[in-house]
Amino acid sequence: MNSTSKADALVKQKSRASIRAMFDEIAPTYDFLNHLLSGGADIYWRWQTMRKVKANLPPTPAPKILDVATGTGDLALMLSKIPSADIVGIDLSDEMLKRARRKMPNVRFEIGEAESLKFPDETFDAVTAGFGARNFEDLQQGLNEFHRVLKPNGVAAILEPMIPRNPFVRRVYEWYFKNALPKLASLFAKSDFAYDYLPRSVAAFPQGEDFLVYLKRAGFREARCYAMTFETAILYVAKK
């Protein structure tokens, strides 16, 4: 099976083992390629996520924040700018977590799955996910778990790529995403599979109002979305 066929198969049938293996493989170049392929915009998107989380936190002197699918810890690092934040990061990939621990040795990073969070009910003031929700094996169960571990009035913030709605911007975006991005990534990454999977997973993922339906099914009383950078990224913010 070639790279494109493998990517299509994984989009249709998510597997934790396959997702873990993919991210273990691309971990060494993950940060570099994120910044390169987004033109540095991913840093801005994470900053905006941190600002929205901070603005929506319930009043508390030391907010507890869980970053799901934390990867190499870039969003956790941005969230650490929130004063006195106590951050926990979880991910499927140990190779990604090794890099997160090097960035933030004082933060607790551990192996974990979104669909079965190993924390008691109402533990956290905020739960976040940066570019990870579309990789969940079961999206609805993952969001149900977000809601369960949040305290009353807690906030969930989920950042994802977005397919622009403007026809001209969309054509340019899709050409870059499906043609230029995988070829550029292949110059630096050992595996081109992950960057074939990326545009396919974004295209198949619920976007905008469709994703808000999942948040509301999970029990969130408020759910909004904020498009950024010509609608190439979208941030979902929900309150318990």
Residue pair 33/189 in contact (Cβ under 8 Å)? The answer is yes
Range 150-154 average pLDDT = 98
Longest dimension (CA), the chain: 53
The answer to whether 115 touches 137, Cβ cutoff 8 Å, is yes
The domain limits of the chain are 3-160+168-239
- In one-letter notation, the amino acid at residue 126 is A
**Residue 3 pLDDT grade (very low, low, confident, very high; cuts 50, 70, 90):** low
Q: How confident is the model at residue 191 (pLDDT cuts 50, 70, 90)?
A: low
pLDDT, mean over the chain? 94
Considering the four listed CATH numbers 3.60.9.10, 3.40.50.2300, 3.30.365.10, 3.40.50.150, the one that applies to the domain covering 3-160+168-239 is: 3.40.50.150
Record the tokens describing residue 28, joined without a space. Answer: 């060494």
Distance CA(118)–CA(139), nearest Å, equals 17
pLDDT digits (tens, 9 = 90+) for 196-238: 898 899 999 999 999 999 999 999 999 999 999 999 999 999 9
Q: What is the rounded CA–CA span in Å between residue 94 and residue 96?
A: 5
pLDDT surpassing 60 at residue 79: yes
The answer, yes or no, to whether residue 2 has pLDDT greater than 70, is: no
pLDDT (average), residues 11-32: 90
